[in-house]
Amino acid sequence: MLTNEKRTGYEAWLRYEAAQYGIVREAYASQCSAISALGSSKVLVTAVQELAEAVGAITGQQPKIAAPPERLSSGVLIGVKGMLDPELERLTADDTAQIGDEGYLLRTLPGAAGEADRIAVVGGSEAGALYGVFHLIRLMQQGEPINALRVVEQPANGLRMINQWDNMDGSIERGYAGKSIFYREGKFTEDFERVRDYARLLASVGINAIAINNVNVHRVETKLITEAFESELKKAADVFGAYGIRIFLSVNFASPIAVGGLTTADPLDSSVRSWWADRAAVLYRAIPEFGGFLVKADSEFRPGPFTYGRDHADGANMLAEALAPHGGIVIWRCFVYNCLQDWRDRRTDRAKAAYDHFTPLDGNFADNVILQIKNGPMDFQVREPVSPLFGGLSRTNQMLELQITQEYTGQQKHVCYLVPLWKEVLDFDTHAAGEGSTIAKIASGAVHNRPLGGIAAVSNIGDDDCWTGHPLAQANLYGYGRLTWNPALPAEQITKEWIRRTLGGDPSVGEVVEDILHRSWGIYESYTSPLGVGWMVNPGHHYGPNVDGYEYSKWGTYHFADCHGIGVDRTIGTGTGYAAQYHSPWRETYNSAELCPDELLLFFHHVPYTHALKSGKTVIQHIYDTHFAGAEEALELLESWQTLEGKLENGYFRLAAARLREQSEHAKEWRDVINTYFYRKSGIADAYGRLIY
Amino acid sequence: MLTNEKRTGYEAWLRYEAAQYGIVREAYASQCSAISALGSSKVLVTAVQELAEAVGAITGQQPKIAAPPERLSSGVLIGVKGMLDPELERLTADDTAQIGDEGYLLRTLPGAAGEADRIAVVGGSEAGALYGVFHLIRLMQQGEPINALRVVEQPANGLRMINQWDNMDGSIERGYAGKSIFYREGKFTEDFERVRDYARLLASVGINAIAINNVNVHRVETKLITEAFESELKKAADVFGAYGIRIFLSVNFASPIAVGGLTTADPLDSSVRSWWADRAAVLYRAIPEFGGFLVKADSEFRPGPFTYGRDHADGANMLAEALAPHGGIVIWRCFVYNCLQDWRDRRTDRAKAAYDHFTPLDGNFADNVILQIKNGPMDFQVREPVSPLFGGLSRTNQMLELQITQEYTGQQKHVCYLVPLWKEVLDFDTHAAGEGSTIAKIASGAVHNRPLGGIAAVSNIGDDDCWTGHPLAQANLYGYGRLTWNPALPAEQITKEWIRRTLGGDPSVGEVVEDILHRSWGIYESYTSPLGVGWMVNPGHHYGPNVDGYEYSKWGTYHFADCHGIGVDRTIGTGTGYAAQYHSPWRETYNSAELCPDELLLFFHHVPYTHALKSGKTVIQHIYDTHFAGAEEALELLESWQTLEGKLENGYFRLAAARLREQSEHAKEWRDVINTYFYRKSGIADAYGRLIY
């Protein structure tokens, strides 16, 4: 609910302005003059409330809310397929036959003689009905007609998930928008109002699952699966449950030792297995709709099955066995690599690690286990190839992991609209099962006909007024949700929707903001690390340029720049062999310095600074040109935003302006550090004689 | 007191072994068969106790302690000049005429017929008498004869000070030996026993002042000057006072605002002046022997007079005025520079900052103000030129600041014996007032005949059993104290003393340890940053190699390496002009790449990698050679130490062995990172084809 309308950007895309034209306002008011739900469950109650609030704000007239059994002769009927009255079932049967559990039908049903039309919102489930309602609201926010609706929608992905990296001390790992809205000082928040406001934002874009604690599970958080936090967990589950969202917990693989008093966490040990089974039973007794566990194991110093000589499948299946009786699932992260690598050793390649760890286990995982795979083989860089692990598994449930929080993409101080990046990932054709084996279809389970699949992403929200630090970063959360529902949505459509719903209908605003968002990723890429080589950030916090930041470290993230050239040789012949993890034609494309796309050249090849790109430029001149241009373009973003003064709520305008100003200053720092580094190292002057230090 | 003799290294150099030879033991026992103090003040009581404990342990016979007025016919008489009995005054008058306040006389007085000789320990003050006792103990620990003593000692420096960088949360800024022995969780420790044990270690080497909190004064510590901590402060002052040591507090210049409720801290504001005067009065009422204030102002984000458009003299003199009525002094740090520098700007030079800030104020500081000046112009690097500020002030009290804690010299994981470095600093002839104007003589006040002066250093101790993390790092604390007393002491003498007192008299042990200590600084320098350029450490914590760590930062610490050469041009003609801050002949020496000593070449000059050093090597080959050799020598230190197995207490042996092992591994990391960095950058191969990555 809009608890404080004065908070800048708090409403996000559920900001309800009165419809612009009187005729539209009147039409909506009349078409939604009454609302009735065929059922009284909590999600349907939510659906009615949400619609009523939206209609009231958009039309200026509060709709009549009819108590359930009452038969509406006009207005909006909300119900669940199979639980409607016989007449409605009959009228909608041909459409609802197409929808599954979480889909919905929005349909205008003509009234009998003398009676007005009715709008039926029929979900395949309660949650489906709620999604239908949010669809209807979206149409009204955009001033679209709702007088002849016949919309059948079905989500592409079973799991549409958010991962909170929130710690119970109130901090958020990689959070750039304030403190946690869930926790403070080792406890759950006492006021769940903000959590509920978050739940409705998520549900409005189709999110149906959330892991509410950091995958790095620390001491206190390890106890989340114990009775210690049961009542608060129940409360959280209820708040999310009212919006059709199931909660998951990130768990510590060593929990049997850390909180169970056992001496081992060996997944094949029977006392460990029964300990987890008991935990699951207790959790499900309290929260029947509990989703399951998210696990980061044997990764970056987190405990895991390797300690006991077991593999990931042993570990995941043990937890899956505990959850299976209750319908729960295990989401097992594939972000596994050697983070104690020796930088002197050029044979070990972090990019190869996930594939090497998990493909030998394909087919060994239980049916209620999903492997959660980051989009790239490294770690959410501004540019990476798609992880080859997606093409390497066919008998295993898979899930794509994205990062909404801008860890490596400007930390919500820089604007970096990620929907175009995600679209490239989703549309990438792995050729795993012939042409058309896109990441979108592998993640959903369609390519290999897997029972489970979906997309998860690390949240970018905190307790900042506008949720996301940078108000324009809300577009990433919005776009993420929309893409989980339908990865085929064009980026432009998502952008336009978000702008219209968040900032209103002024086309002169829309054009400017759309331009800023769509240029932003490319601009950020241009002034940061070049040509796919990645990193070059300060270690630890990952903000700001540091070309050698990870060059001599244990983290396996190198560029190997010397006075002659730069890049990582990941070819099959002379390099680490990473390119072989791809199917043809990618294998050949990436393996060849001539065929490899420019933007990934340095990820796959070590080349001289004088190497000519497809663009015709040398590598070194490309570095100089993109960095000079990128910093200029960052300034253009600010200048462009400044034309909006007076057209937006002033606090919102100023907040974004301040961030864009910081970005344009920081882009100059990036430009100068990167250019200076490579000028000093290569000794090759800029062809245009621009200032390099 | 030796509260727990089993704690490895806890006794440090006050470890009392029974004298090796029976004849010596008997002689000591007889010569010290009784002890009497002519006076009953607490410091004299301490002196008697210390001597009795030492004699008991070294001789195996407990001396008789005679109550004060009792006249001893033999044994040790301890007293203060001017307060002896007439006969003693007469007998010692020609010697005691040479000693001032803190000096002492140790003299064997022949007994009358039939009576044994007596030993008189006569101090210029009670503290002087205590120092005399510790001298006597030192002689006995080393097995020296004490039968014909005539020693007159006078400290070279008025202030011989330790700066604790301890915070009240128990942490120690730049501490590498555990937690604070003073504080825990925002409070003083409840058990002052360890503090007392520290006081006796300090007094035993002549320390007479200690600032007990970090110069970066945080929130809680700001309250140390208020009544809130009065009783604990009094307790600390008593503990140190019993060993002749005065306590100082580091103060927050913004205290009038932070704890005084004023709206300004302007040093010329009368309410501010009277607030500080009141504070001083309250402090001195509680602690009449209170030393004064240590101040870090307008430095690294600490508040200071600049906020109010005032200068350092305004700030310091205001505090000095508050302390003067009580005999207190203000120690004002000169570590002032622009820490928000733009790395692109090559005209600004951090090395010049202290000189530029303070020389224009020469003569403006009150007589009870001392400027505390770091030994080098940067920040305690393994190699720096001596700060030219020492040569730039003649009408201002000055004090040398050294760093015992090994922030940039291996953090007490590496052995780095700093006495030779300090000796170079102390012996450096500034030529400020003609030849012989050494740092030692400027700091003591001798060159310019200043009323106050001395040496301060940042402590290297914490609550580790052995005090200093690395047991060999105790030698730095010991050596520091000895040099404050007498900067002319040869390093070799200090080393031998420390070894003999700490590790006993086995010459095969002594040789090995002396060799390790004396090689250690050179070895550490050889595998870290080359030729005086400094830094190349990880930012923040300052441990481990990171060549570009500060290269693009705001801290003003650069090397400007490119593919052609390296170094900072600080010459007068083409560089920052820093060399002009020195008197002749240093100005000309440093200004010339030909005359400049190799070890400081890159501090003063930017040269090509192919530049030939005085050694005949090129710069790049020097880098390779020293780094390969340094890592090998670090391993030799370990191997050398390992020959001591069985000759030392086992825990002590193993502790140092573990550190030396870590050092030798880490030296390889330094070698490889530095060599790889410069090989990649210069493209010049090692003349000997050794492995560079």
How does pLDDT run across B617-670, given as a tens digit for each residue?
A: 999 999 999 999 999 999 999 999 999 999 999 999 999 999 999 999 999 999
Q: How far is CA B353 from CA A18, B395, B576, in A?
A: 62, 19, 11
How far is B663 from A228, CA to CA, in rounded Å?
A: 45
pLDDT number for residue B111: 80
pLDDT above 60 for B187: yes
Structure tokens at A347: 């044979």
**Predicted local confidence at residue B76, as pLDDT:** 96
Residue B6 has a pLDDT of: 56
d(CA B411, CA A282): 50
Contact B563 A681 (CB under 8 A): yes
Least confident of A70-79, A248-257, B388-397: A70-79
The catalytic position among B85, B191, B227, B300 is B300
Interface contact A673-B564, CB threshold 8 A? no
Cβ–Cβ of A680/B682 closer than 8 Å? no
Q: Which of A551, A553, A672 would you mutate first to test chain B, the one with the most B CBs within 10 A? A: A551
Q: Can A50 be counted among the known catalytic residues?
A: no
Residues B314-334 have a mean pLDDT of: 98
Chain B residues near residue A564 by CB distance under 8 angstroms: 683
Q: Do A552 and B564 touch (CB under 8 A)?
A: no
**What percent of chain B stands above pLDDT 70?**
98
* Per-residue pLDDT at A6: 56
Q: Residue A275 pLDDT > 60, yes or no?
A: yes
What is the per-residue pLDDT for B411?
A: 98
- Which of B627, B678, B681 to mutate to test binding with chain A, by most A CBs within 10 Å of its CB? B681
- Chains A and B form CB pairs within 8 A to the count of 49
Q: How confident is the model at residue B93 (pLDDT cuts 50, 70, 90)?
A: very high
Q: How far apart are CA B90 and CA B93, in angstroms?
A: 5
In A, which residues are within 8 Å of B564 by CB distance? Answer: 683
pLDDT tens-place string over residues B262-285: 999 999 999 999 999 999 999 999
Q: Which residues of B touch A683 (CB under 8 A)?
A: 562-564
Give pLDDT tens digits for B132-166: 999 999 999 999 999 999 999 999 999 999 999 99
A553 contacts in chain B (CB < 8 Å)? none
- Please, which pLDDT band fits residue A115 given cuts at 50, 70 and 90? confident
Contact A563 B680 (CB under 8 A): yes
Please report which confidence band the pLDDT of residue B126 belongs to, taking 50, 70 and 90 as the band edges: very high
User: Nearest-CA residue of chain A relative to B670?
Assistant: A552
Model pLDDT, residue B5 = 47
Contact B676 A564 (CB under 8 A): no
pLDDT, average across residues B33-37: 94
B113 pLDDT higher than 90 = no
> Does the structure show a pLDDT above 90 at A72?
no
Kind plus residue range of the DSSP H or E element containing A160: strand A159-163
**How many Å separate Cα A201 from the centre of its chain?**
14
Question: B548, B555, B665, B675: which to substitute to probe chain A, counting the most A Cβ within 10 Å?
Answer: B548
Identify the band that residue B40 occupies on the pLDDT scale cut at 50, 70 and 90.
Answer: confident
**Band of the pLDDT at A4, cuts 50, 70, 90?**
very low
Q: What is the pLDDT of residue B57?
A: 97
Across the range A235-249, mean pLDDT stands at: 98
At position B406, the amino acid (one-letter code) is: Q
Choose the closest CB to B547 out of A548, A673, A683.
A548
- Please determine, for residue A3, whether its predicted confidence score (pLDDT) is greater than 80: no
Q: Which pLDDT tens digit goes with each residue over B279-308? A: 999 999 999 999 999 999 998 889 999 999
Determine whether B345 is an active site residue: no
- The string of pLDDT tens digits covering residues A484-543 is 999 999 999 999 999 999 999 999 999 999 999 999 999 999 999 999 999 999 999 999
Closest residue to A552, CB basis, from B552, B673, B682:
B673
Q: Check A221, A407, A464, A514 and give the catalytic one.
A: A407
- Which entry of A221, A349, A379, A625 is annotated as an active-site residue? A379
Q: Is the pTM of this model over 0.80?
A: yes
A561 CA: distance to closest CA in chain B (Å)? 7
Q: Give the pLDDT confidence of B498-537 residue by residue, as tens digits.
A: 999 999 999 999 999 999 999 999 999 999 999 999 999 9
CA distances B535 to A562, B248, B384, B545, Å, are 21, 31, 11, 9
Cβ-based contacts of B547 with chain A (< 8 Å) = 548
Q: Do A548 and B552 touch (CB under 8 A)?
A: no
| The one-letter amino acid at B61 | Q
**Does the active-site annotation cover A636?**
no
Find the catalytic residue in B11, B95, B379, B633.
B379
Q: What's the pLDDT score for residue A5?
A: 47
Query: Which pLDDT score is estimated for B110?
Result: 87
Q: What SS3 string covers B171-229?
A: CECCCCCCCCCCEECCEECCCCHHHHHHHHHHHHCCCCEEECCCCCCCHHHHHHHCHHH
CA distance A470 to B194: 52
Query: Which chain A residue's Cα is nearest to B669?
Result: A552
Residues from chain B that touch A550, judged by Cβ atoms under 8 A, are none
Average pLDDT, chain B: 96
Minimal-distance CA residue of chain A relative to B559? A680
Percent of chain A residues past pLDDT 70, beyond the cut: 98
Mean of all residue pLDDT scores within chain A: 96
B50-53: long-range contacts, CB 8 A cutoff, minimum separation 24? B50/B130, B50/B133, B50/B134, B50/B137, B50/B200, B50/B204, B51/B76, B51/B78, B51/B133, B51/B136, B51/B137, B53/B1, B53/B16
Residue of A nearest to B552 (CA): A673
For the segment A608-622, the average pLDDT, to the nearest whole number, is 97
- Rounded mean pLDDT, B162-181: 98
Catalytic annotation, pick one of B50, B266, B314, B407:
B407
Least confident of A421-430, B78-87, B379-388: B78-87
**pLDDT at residue B416 greater than cutoff 80:** yes
- Contact at CB, A552 and B563, closer than 8 angstroms: no
Q: What is the mean pLDDT of residues A589-618?
A: 98
pLDDT (tens digit, 9 = 90+) per residue, B204-248? 999 999 999 999 999 999 999 999 999 999 999 999 999 999 999
Residues of A in contact with B344 (CB under 8 A): 672, 693
